[in-house]
Structure 1
């Protein structure tokens, strides 16, 4: 398949055969609309409503930002996997219908995002006005439903982001490589945050860096090869991202930096438990990744302590193994945090080995234990519906099928029963936070 043919959504979990699905390897169906037409289509609002900062100051926009979502008893959330590529009214309608499915389950927090190559013009760092209008409309669709948002910054970079002297053998198409130009990254992230931060304080960098790499990628002389380079480079990127967010703090925004959704499909300490990677597949274990971010010691100066606010992880374990494998990861994190605890969010999770309704219910029941005892600050179930059937997953992990028919009724009923125990005022935003951002 042509690697240049891309999708903007994040990596999904392992498919039925155990092979990781790379959603960015799928062909986008891009429909080019004139800018003024798409501005009129989106949300049915006048074009002035979609202007970013022409009629409001940064501080006025910051006043619209909801508080960070990680506090209180509302710990359950849901992933959205809708098809964004056309960036038109059809895409907005389809994504909005998925938000309605989530809301009917009683879930008020969603994980939304867009990838780098989706959002920019040819230079790789300037935001595409059409995509800005679409993303703003999508975020408003969640906001006006009272939904809290974890925003996922997809780190799949366009080829033009690698055009600098420091990058060796730059890719000729969009790529998950981390050796893009720092200047392009900081310019892009800053512009993106100006768009996103009025809607949320929680920002997750994402490309599952401990999964999505090739042994042939440049390692820049790291003694541990490409895996060593990734671990070193990740710390640099977290620092640069934090600098961008800190600059927005000065304008009145609240900002929370999450890790890159690190995979935890497999733990070599428990080789016969949970999901196993395909033979020969490149993989940096989540425990190794978090140790590297923490400099392998309980140092107050490590990036884990100075830069990362929340540790995001993606466990796909069956019900019987969920607790023991998550406890192992949480112990690793606590051994590296210099003072107090570090919040852990499961930004993707489900039963990665037993895909039946009963199997997914068993994993959810174990997840409830971790949420109820506070071990997990937030858990995002993957996924309410797969809106891109060509990605190879089909309805494998979905609660509703592509046509929005309920296919896992036991799981849906359990989710509804669980969310009903949490006051609605904790699950959903209210008051001024329901007003769209103009």
Structure 2
């Protein structure tokens, strides 16, 4: 047995890490699945209910002021539509929306008293002409004015968010039917949460399984080398290095999963959790300076770093560190990475921007970069072993702190990631 390696200890440690990874995998799904259930049990208002309540205020004036003088729906039909689950829309023979649930607006099916989705409108025409019922699925986007209806932002901040914010699609099941010679009803079932969870689950299982296979394969190679014997120190050392590398990679994945789980817990603003940004941001710069200096990347921190927010110092430090590490990794040798801190014009939020001059992100990939395990096409030798959880952690830290995360990028020009947080009052 070579003196420079103790395979029993190495194998024990590696399998210990694999065990932790499996435990975290199970724990992740338990937390991810039961969090909304717990919120409902304790009476917490969901973001969707808050949104729909606010949309009642910002709907077109016609929905608020107009009575039944222009429609001929009988009372029993109107009452039935009001108690049906999901959202409903009633369209007259001029394709004008005469009644619509608030969710029809928030889901992007109705805009300004008109059907906004072409496929839904086509099926309305078909059913009106030939009768029967049509059922199909569509994908929509929530209009910006409804998505951020309850954000307490000034005009400038809202415009910046409109340009940069990453939005998620709505997956809807649509049923269209005729209820009279004049009126057609559109019923909407929102399947977004179900589909999103299924996608996340499948992606999670696939990616974690792939990560768990790598150290297992490395351990098998090391075991083969030890069984064959013959004193091939070079081969054993090579296999041992591979075990160390894959275990390190798995260890980073486990750490990121634990951070992601922790970032699901909302922060309640109070006098006890008011922090200045200087400490976590200076800690990020200090930790990243060595790796940046190795490649001649200039790292700087500017702006009003003494702004105070409500939050968890460690979570904010980790979120900004993920952005800075990415910026350094994607920057060319001799490039620069800048952290800029500034308050929005309305004074309600503070923006932490991490700016690089790297390769940039293709436009079609920008809506996916905050998704768990998503890996873009612009990988290099420094990023190819990444897991794809860093920006998901950033997003969830932002949401936990009642803020937002956004990206601006152009291929060949670099990227700017912005973490926006409410200023402490």
TM bracket, shorter-chain basis = under 0.3
User: Which has more helix, going by share of residues?
Assistant: 2
Q: State which structure, 1 or 2, has the greater radius of gyration over its C-alpha atoms.
A: 2
TM-score by length of 1: 0.23
TM-score by length of 2: 0.24
User: Which has more strand, going by share of residues?
Assistant: 2
